[in-house]
Structure 1
Amino acid sequence: MASEAITDKLIELSQVLVADDGLDATLGRVARLSTSLIDACDSCGVSLIRDGSVSTRAASDERADRIDDIQYSHGEGPCLQAIETGETVHVTSFAQEERWPQFIESALDEGIRASYSVPLRVEQNVVGSLNFYSIDGAFTDSDKQIGDVLASQAAVALHNARTFNEVLNLVDQLNEALASRDLIGQSKGILMANLSLGPDQAFDVLRRESQNRNVKLRDLAEQVVSGAVVIDGASVDSAP
């Protein structure tokens, strides 16, 4: 592929990485772009580690899905080795490859003749691999260089997705904290009005009732606000 065309495709990829389409759509586009950017690449799959096992998160076509699945089922293959070692794995000829015999036999049946697997790293941790498959022959140095760039971009997408999820979790935690504070404030107001208490006294009653009932303070406050629980003067009289 001419350098101008490669540049155009990489610009397209950079635009994809900032598009609001979600991680799966982004990785799917990376996989499909790989088959047009890399001359030797006919199929591409994105393998990711999730809950201790490896699965394909996105693929350019069904063949890539099948080749990846064959490796998972046999527990061997170039993509698994790339993930395990953190090193790129280039198989120049499946017909002459002696590693992973079960996988190789099945891959040859699928028409695959060569592969190039690149580990994906997020914050120095290997989280998967980008797997390029060829039905014609080995990947050239130029092919591998482009593959490395694509793997870096896929890793950026994964990092951004992780950061985004962390921010969402933080927002959820903050919203939960604010909601809890509001509920506790409302329940304190109810106790202050019903039992003629000050703010600190009302909070002490809530806290003590929470311990006595073995209920989280937020949950008790919600019950008080909804009227499901009524705290009467007896609770105040029993205060130490």
Structure 2
Amino acid sequence: MAPDDHIAGIEQLQQMLLESPGFTEFLLDLTTISASLFSTDSPMHCAITVERTGGPTTVASSSELAQRLDEQQYASDDGPCLTALRQQHSVLIAELVADLRWRRYAAAVSGEPVRSVLAVPIPTDGSSAAALNCYSPDVAAFGPQAVAAIEKHANSLSTILRLALRVHPAERYPDDLRAVLKSRAVVDAAVALVMMQNRCSHEAAMTTLQVASRHHNRRVQGIADELLGKAMATTVISRTANRSG
């Protein structure tokens, strides 16, 4: 798990909020950061759920797996994340298939690569509630130190999430969600490409894209699109040359 000094700073989160065109996009950024912070040898999949009084529920996931695991909870209106959100306490599941509290949920996601779950509330205000859901493919992935680190991270998101709720009005039907997820996939692909080319970590690759974004005064997605386009063009030229030879 990430040490305390890797927790995202308030200035970084404020910059993300300023650059995000909508609330859903901002939540997607938060879930991506959360997943990258706490992934180790095994990937961590994260999701954030926000419920507003008298408004819609907004959900963002760092991966398609996290999205599917969350959707099973919303389908039955019950699960660890919804419990953490509505009762405002952490829910730890060391081994999903052996936890009697969540037998129905475990059965619903039995085909998915998830063994342990940690759901942590994110403090907001009286008109909303939020929670961070973390999924791991490993049994007992969340020891005491990991739980403490993730709870601290969730608390660190409180101030910026409250601000985001004020800045962005409720989105009843986020029609642009498909485009947002496509944008996230493009960035993820570019990060993977930088990792492969530079033999660096996910965090270092993401930092490279962010630095390029600030340097050229362009959004990260634009930099990612250009990088992937150049890589594809290089591949086509290389293959054509090989065939000609």
| 1:154 paired residue number | 157
Distance 1:86 1:9, change over 3 A: closer
Give aligned pairs, total: 163
| 2:215 paired residue number | none
- Counterpart Cα distance in 1 of 2:131 and 2:12: 22
Post-superposition shift, 1:143? Answer: 1.5
- When structure 1 is superposed on structure 2, of 97-106 and 47-56 the one drifting more is 47-56
| 2:212 paired residue number | none
Distance 1:58 1:8, change over 3 A: same
- Counterpart Cα distance in 2 of 1:41 and 1:94: 17
User: Which of 13, 16, 34 does residue 13 from structure 2 map onto?
Assistant: 16
Please state whether the residue corresponding to 1:18 is helix, strand or coil.
helix
Whichever residue aligns with residue 161 of structure 1, its letter is A
Alpha-carbon displacement from aligned partner over 1:28-81 (angstroms, at most 9, x marks no partner)? 222112222224662100111145587452110111111111001012210111
Distance 1:126 1:165, change over 3 A: closer
> 1:43 touches 1:61 (CA, 8 Å); kept in 2?
yes
Say what the alpha-carbon RMSD is for the aligned residues: 2.6
> 1:16 touches 1:26 (CA, 8 Å); kept in 2?
no
Instruction: Establish whether residue 164 from structure 1 lines up as the match of residue 167 from structure 2.
Output: yes
- Counterpart Cα distance in 2 of 1:74 and 1:32: 26
- When structure 1 is superposed on structure 2, of 41-50 and 68-77 the one drifting more is 41-50
Alpha-carbon displacement from aligned partner over 1:122-161 (angstroms, at most 9, x marks no partner)? 1366612110011112212222122112212332222112
Distance 1:142 1:98, change over 3 A: same
Unaligned runs of at least 5 residues, structure 1: 167-240
Whichever residue aligns with residue 149 of structure 1, its letter is K
Please state whether the residue corresponding to 1:108 is helix, strand or coil.
coil
Instruction: Establish whether residue 30 from structure 1 lines up as the match of residue 30 from structure 2.
Output: yes
Residues 199-238 of structure 1 aligned to structure 2 (within 5 Å) = none
> 1:59 touches 1:65 (CA, 8 Å); kept in 2?
yes
Post-superposition shift, 1:103? Answer: 1.1
- Counterpart Cα distance in 2 of 1:148 and 1:34: 11
- Counterpart Cα distance in 2 of 1:53 and 1:108: 32
> 2:124 touches 2:130 (CA, 8 Å); kept in 1?
no
| 2:206 paired residue number | none
> 2:52 touches 2:128 (CA, 8 Å); kept in 1?
no
Radius of gyration: which is bigger?
1
| 1:84 paired residue number | 86
Whichever residue aligns with residue 90 of structure 1, its letter is L
Overall identity of the aligned pairs, in %: 25
Unaligned runs of at least 5 residues, structure 2: 170-245
- Give TM-score, length-normalised by structure 1: 0.59
Whichever residue aligns with residue 139 of structure 2, its letter is G
- Give TM-score, length-normalised by structure 2: 0.58
> 1:93 touches 1:137 (CA, 8 Å); kept in 2?
yes
> 2:35 touches 2:46 (CA, 8 Å); kept in 1?
yes
> 1:47 touches 1:54 (CA, 8 Å); kept in 2?
no
- Counterpart Cα distance in 2 of 1:10 and 1:65: 23
> 1:94 touches 1:113 (CA, 8 Å); kept in 2?
yes
Whichever residue aligns with residue 37 of structure 1, its letter is L
